[in-house]
Structure 1
Amino acid sequence: MNSEQISRIAHADHPIKAPLDDASVNRLLERGAPRGDERVLDLGCGGGEWLLRALATRPQLHAEGVDISEEALAQARSAADRLGLQERLVLHRRAAEEFVSPQPFDLVLSVGATHAFGGLLPTLAAARGHLAPGGRVLIGDGFWDRTPSPEAIEMLGDFTDMATTVDRVVADGWTPVSGHVSTRRELDDYEWACWGSLASWALDHPDHPDSAQALETASLRRSEWLRVYRDTWGFVSLVLRRTAD
C-alpha cells in the first residue's frame, strides 16, 4: 500500500484534507470568493474537495484544479459528475509548479499543499503568477504553537510560530484580509478521523494483503500525533491580497 492509497483511506471520513471543519471551510470560501462568480484555481487540489464545495454553493463560479495524482483527479471527476458540477470544473494532471494558464484567476487556493512548492513563500510566489488584479489567495499551512521538540521538527518540518509566519507573508508583499486558526477540536478531530478511518479499514478487511500494514500505520501515526506534536503544532489558513497590485 503506497502513501497515496493510505491517504485516500485515511481521509475518507473527514470533510477536507486539512484540520478544518465544515463551518470553517465555508467561511474561508466566503472570504475568498465574495462575489460568487470568480474563476478559482487550486494548486494541489487532490480530490477537489475545496473546488467542489465552492462550485456547489456558487452557481456562477468556474474552477480549475491541478494535481499530479491521477487517482485523486479521478475521484474529483467522479464527485463532480455525481453532483452535476462537471461543466464548471477543469482538472489538469501535472506538477502544480509547472502549470500555466492563459487566463488569471480571482482566487488561488493551496491549503495543506505548500510542500509541493518547497514551503509557504514559494507557494505564494506560484500563486502570484496566476492571480488577477484584485484577486485573493487562500493558503493554509502549519505553524509551531509552542516550542517543538527536535523529533517534531524532524517529523513535520521547520515551521515558525504564527506571528513570524504572518510577518513573513506580509514582508513578501501580501496583506491578510481574513484568516482562521484551527481550534483544538478541529486539530484533534482531524487526527482521530484519519487514523481511525485507516484502522477501521484494516479491521474491516482482515484478509486483505495490506490490512496488517494499514493497522500498523494507523497505530504509529496516532502515537506520533499524541506523543510528538499534538501539543506544539497548529494550522493557520489565511486569505490574502497583494499589498501593491
Structure 2
Amino acid sequence: MNREQISQIAHAGHPIKSPLDDNAVSLLLDRALPRGDERVLDLGCGTAEWLLRALATRPHLHAEGVDVSEVSLTQARQAARARGVEERLVLHQREATDFVPSEPFDLVISIGATHAYGGLLPTLAAAREHLAPGGRVLIGESFWDRAPSPAAIEMFGDLADLATTVDRVVADGWTPVHGHLSTRAELDAYEWSCWGSLAAWALDHPADPAAAQVLDAATDARSQWLHGYRDSFGFVCLVLRRTKQ
C-alpha cells in the first residue's frame, strides 16, 4: 500500500487534514469570506474539503482547487456531486507551482501545504500572484510551541516559534486580520483520529496483504507523536490581507 492510500485511510474520520475542529474551520471561513460570493483558490487542495464546506454554505461562491493527486481529486469530485456543488467547483491536477489562473481570486487558501512552494514566505509570494486587489489569504503553518526534541526537528525541520512566524509574515507585507491557534484538544484529536483510523482498518481487514504494514505504520506514527513531537508541535491559521495594495 502506498503513502497516498495510507493517508486516505488515516484521514477517513478527519477530512480536514490539519489539527482543526469543525467550529474552527467554520469561523476561519467566515472571516476569510465576508461577502459569500468570492472566487476562491486552494493551492494543494487534496480532497478539497475546505472548498466543499465553503461552497455548501455559500450558494454564490465559486472555487478552484489545485493538487497533484488524482486519487484525492477524484474523491473531491465525487463529494462535490454528492453535496450538489460540482457546477461551482473546478479542479486542476497539476503542480501548484505550475498553475496559471485565467483571473485573480478573492481568497487564496494554503493549509498545511507550504512545502509545495518550499516554505511559508514562498507560498505567500505565490498567493500574492493569484490574489485580486483587496483579497485575503488563509494560510496554515506549523511552528514550535516549545523547544523541540532532536527527533521532532528531524521529522519537521527547523520550524520557527509562533512570534517569529507571525513577524516574518508581517515583514513580508501582510497584516493578520484573524488567526486561530490549534488547541491541545484539536492537536490530540487529529493525531488520535489519524492513527486510530489506520489501526482500525488493519484490525478490520486481517486477511488483506497490507494489514500488517498499515498496523505498523499506525503504531510507528503514534509512537513518534507521543515520544517525539506532542509536547512541542503547534499549528496556526492566519487570515491575511496585504498591508499595502
Band the TM-score falls in, shorter-chain normalisation:
over 0.9
CA contact under 8 A between 1:147 and 1:232: conserved in structure 2? yes
> In structure 1, what residue type is equivalent to 2:138?
L
Aligned to 1:175: 175
In 2: Cα distance, 1:131 partner to 1:97 partner: 15
Cα offset, 1:206, TM superposition: 0.5
- Percent pairwise identity: 73
Structure 1 stretches lacking a partner, 5+ long: none
Other-structure match for 1:94: 94
- Equivalence for 2:123: 123
1:211 partnered with 2:219: no
Asked whether 1:44 is paired with 2:37, we answer no
1:126, 1:235 → 2: CA distance?
21
Q: Partner amino acid for 2:97?
A: E
Give SS of 2:244's match.
Answer: coil
Give runs of aligned pairs for residues 53-72 of structure 1, distance below 5 A: 53-72=53-72
The one-letter code sitting in structure 1 at the alignment partner of 2:236 is V
Check the 8 A contact 1:138/1:239 in 2, yes or no: yes
Match of residue 137 from structure 1: 137
- Whether contact under 8 Å (1:46, 1:67) holds in the other structure is yes
Distance 1:198 1:102 in 2: 40
C-alpha contact (below 8 Å) 1:151/1:228 kept by paired residues: yes
Give 1:195 deviation, angstroms. Answer: 0.1
> 1:157: Cα distance to partner?
1.6
State the Cα distance separating 1:149 from its structure 2 match. Answer: 1.4
> Are the equivalent residues in 2 in contact too, given 1:140–1:235 (CA < 8 A)?
yes
Structure 1 counterpart of 2:120, one-letter code: L
RMSD: 0.5
Q: Deviations over 1:197-243 (max 9, x none)?
A: 00000001001111000000000000000000000000000000011
Equivalent in the alignment of 1:78: 78
Q: Which amino acid aligns with 1:126?
A: A
Task: Render the CA deviation track for 1:124-164: whole Å, top value 9, x for unaligned.
Answer: 11100000000000000100000111211111121100000
Amino acid paired to 2:176: P
State the alpha-carbon separation in 2 of the partners of residues 71 and 78 from structure 1. 11
The answer (yes or no) to whether the contact 1:15–1:21 under 8 Å persists in 2 is no
1:224 aligns with 2:234: no
| Residue identity in the other structure for 1:76 | A
3-state SS, counterpart of residue 64 of structure 1:
strand
**Match in the other structure for 1:147:** 147
- Name the CA distance, whole Å, in 2 between partners of 1:110 and 1:23: 19
Structure 1: which 4+ aligned runs deviate by more than 6 Å?
A: none
Q: Name the amino acid aligned to 2:208.
A: H
* Aligned residue identity for 1:26: S
Question: How many residue pairs get matched?
Answer: 245
Q: Does residue 32 of the first structure (1) align with residue 32 of the second (2)?
A: yes
TM-score normalised over the length of structure 2: 0.99
Name the SS for the 2:13 alignment partner: coil
Is the contact between residue 15 and residue 22 of structure 1 (CA under 8 Å) also seen in structure 2?
no
The equivalent residue for 1:165 is 165
Deviation at 1:15, TM superposition (A): 3.6
Q: Which amino acid aligns with 1:27?
A: L
Aligned counterparts of 2:202 and 2:151: Cα–Cα separation in 1: 28
Q: Which amino acid aligns with 1:39?
A: R
TM-score relative to the length of structure 1: 0.99
Corresponding letter in the other structure for 1:60: H
Q: Deviation of residue 102 (structure 1)?
A: 1.6
Q: Compute the displacement of 1:19 (Å).
A: 0.2
The alignment partner of 1:42 has SS state of strand
**Structure 2 residue aligned with 1:108:** 108
